[in-house]
Amino acid sequence: MLTDSHTHLNAEQFNEDQDEVIQRALDAGVTRIVNVGFNRETIPGSIALAERYDFIYSTVGWHPVDAIDMTPDDLVMIEDLCKHEKVVAIGEIGLDYYWDKSPKEVQQRVFREQIRLARKLNMPIVIHNRDAHQDILNILKEEKAAEVGGIMHCFSGSWETAKQCLDMNFHISFGGPVTFKNAKQPKEVLAQVPLDRLLIETDAPYLTPHPFRGKRNESAYVRLVAETAAEIRGITLEELAEITTNNAIRLLGLK
């Protein structure tokens, strides 16, 4: 009973074979998928997927890379979609200082607006963080994100950063990079995260785990992340799958 807590199955990379990709996930033991809609182009497709498949849920939010494009109407759309029964979180939201399409100040404003919306609606949030650890922590603190909590997706920070996120009521999710041989820090953090706060994901079609690194990622490969995580924690794959699935069910209200 694996759960892929963060994936993008309506990305154009899956246009040709989306149904087969979903079937392969089922065959690999994936019982729940959280698909992420993160801008004007991807939100409708993510909702449609969640409506088509019982075991697929959706988040809605505005990605920091696209922050410059978000209008007040888009925020209203996100608020309206949060009432949809298959929408389980606001995200992915956050800061991305690697890409420079959206200026930092715009990213920070859009991030804050969505945390405030999440608190108003009492929805958990999914955080995207690239090269912005300190600003993410500061904004989460200032905006009282601990009231709603959520997921630090594809976590890549230090144990110090992870501890502060845990203190603010967040779960820590690991993806493909933790399977890489040289991923010393993610493995160290994964070894220490309380088991009741641990999640796994693919972020497909990106961040493909070993041994498929460089190829297109897909939800079935969450099993490879689970195997690595189980090995690091010294528990069985079945135990790891059950623990992380129960965490996702509890946090996001999945069936």
- Helix-, strand-, coil-residue percentages of the chain, each rounded to 5: 50, 20, 35
Residue number, nearest CB to Zn ion: 128
Which one of residues 4, 66, 203, 218 is an interface residue with Zn ion (CB under 5 A)?
Answer: 203
Least gap, CB of 6 to Zn ion (angstroms): 6
Q: Closer CB to Zn ion, residue 153 or residue 230?
A: 153
Q: Closer CB to Zn ion, residue 36 or residue 60?
A: 36
Least gap, CB of 63 to Zn ion (angstroms): 7
> 193 near 187, Cβ under 8 Å?
no
Characterize 81-116 residue by residue with b for buried, 16 or more Cβ atoms within 10 angstroms of its Cβ, and e for exposed.
bbeeebbbbbbbbbbbeeeeebeeeebbebbebbbe
* Residue for token pair 């939201």: 93
Residues 97-136 that bind Zn ion (CB under 5 A): 128
Least gap, CB of 111 to Zn ion (angstroms): 13
> What's the Cα-to-Cα distance from 27 to each of 20, 180, 222, 223, 242, rounded to whole Å?
10, 24, 12, 11, 17
Q: Closer CB to Zn ion, residue 151 or residue 232?
A: 151
Strand order in the sheet with 56-60: 2-7, 30-37, 56-60, 87-96, 125-130, 150-152, 170-174, 198-200
Using the contact rule CB under 5 A, the part of the chain among 20-28, 74-82, 103-111, 195-203 near Zn ion is 195-203
Beta-carbon-side half-sphere exposure of residue 192 (alpha carbons within 13 Å): 14
Q: Closer CB to Zn ion, residue 36 or residue 67?
A: 36
Please list, in sequence order, all residues whose beta carbon lies within 8 angstroms of the beta carbon of residue 41, skipping any fewer than 6 positions away: none
4 binds Zn ion (CB under 5 A): no
> 88 near 57, Cβ under 8 Å?
yes
Using the contact rule CB under 5 A, the part of the chain among 90-98, 135-143, 175-183, 191-199 near Zn ion is 90-98
Site string for Zn ion, 19-58 (x = CB under 5 A): -----------------x----------------------
Least gap, CB of 239 to Zn ion (angstroms): 26
Q: Closer CB to Zn ion, residue 66 or residue 92?
A: 92
Q: Closer CB to Zn ion, residue 4 or residue 143?
A: 4
Give the binding-site size for Zn ion (rule: CB under 5 A): 4
CA gap 134, 116 in Å, rounded: 19
Residues that bind Zn ion (CB under 5 A): 36, 92, 128, 203
